[in-house]
Amino acid sequence: MSHCRIILDVDTGIDDAMAIIYALNAPEVELEAVTATYGNIDVASATRNTLQILEAGGRGDIPVASGAARSLTRPFSKRGSRIHGANGIGDVEMPAPAAQPVETWAPDFIIERVRANPGALTLVPVGPMTNVAHALMKAPDIAEKLKGIVLMGGTIWHPGVPGIPSPVADANFFNDPEAARIVLQSGADVTIVGMDVTMKTKLTAAMIAEIGEKGGGAARYAMQAAQFYLSAYQAQYPGIDYCALHDPLAVAVAHDPSIVTLEAMQVDVECVGELTRGQVIPDRRKTGTTVPNAKVALEVDAPRFETMFKAAMLAR
Ligand code: CA
């Protein structure tokens, strides 16, 4: 575990809100800036939700930049509402934000921050990779100026999630596979925290109740939203008694990779498949011609992460 300065790229989003709070409260993590994109909700709502969560957490001073409104090749599709509510945070009403986003467009903001802090920043995209792809296309030099990219997206073995047309993808890679490909082929030090691990990290009804009672202001809002999230999971997976901590796990791996087991692999993303758009295609043949371009999390110490998560949510 080491001191970790991060830029979080979000489509806030219920688990994004939890990732923001985790980044605010986890020891050793310094949240430098947040950039917002479309995904779970439209980009204007994601930006507003991000400002609201930061202000509820007492950190309205952290800059927020608004970014991409749609994927590189397709219009925005509002299919996340069933999981995240019509406003993106489980229809929880929060006070209107006092702060405004910075005027700089999120990809440009990423470029500025990374160039000003070479080797120091870890970028943690937990929505579609569109902002990051725009930044990398405009300024390919930032790939090696980043300490690394720890992204939430994709899956190798997990059978995928409901709510998107592809049976073999996660929502972030499905929403913009071309952007995900640009990130994976950028030359940056990329770590993939996908559903192979995130679906094993559980937020149970008991945890929601405890954090909702004892947590700080932002965590209480997030746990109200989590009730909606849990109900959405239960509607889609009969009998399930938890929802998954996708986005917070990526933040945790950024500062403490020892909570997951990583395998270096050559990975790409299917962009044109009729049935498989957004699928991660790993080439694990180890033939001597494969060149690993990402470290992929395959196992997670879920109990340890859940303890870390709860501690961050209860910090006030
Ligand atoms: Ca997200």
CATH value at residue 22: 3.90.245.10
Residue 142 in contact with residue 111, Cβ under 8 Å? yes
Question: DSSP 3-state assignment of 280?
Answer: strand
Question: DSSP 3-state assignment of 231?
Answer: helix
Which of 169, 305, 155 lies closest to 245 in space, CA to CA?
305
Residue 64 in contact with residue 96, Cβ under 8 Å? no
- So which residues are the catalytic ones? 11, 246
Into how many domains does the chain fold? 1
Distance CA 298, CA 167 (A): 19
Q: Which domain holds residue 114?
A: 4-314
Per the listing, tokens 């970790």 go with: 4
The rounded Å distance from CA 290 to ligand 1 centre is 30
The rounded Å distance from CA 36 to ligand 1 centre is 10
What is the reported pLDDT for 119?
98
pTM for the structure as a whole: 0.97
- pLDDT tens-digit map of 22-58: 999 999 999 999 999 999 999 999 999 999 999 999 9
User: Burial level of 314, CB count in 10 A (0-12/13-18/19+)?
Assistant: middle
What average pLDDT does the segment 131-160 reach? 95
The rounded Å distance from CA 42 to ligand 1 centre is 12
Query: Band of the pLDDT at 300, cuts 50, 70, 90?
Result: very high
Residue 305 pLDDT > 80, yes or no? yes
What is the reported pLDDT for 1?
59
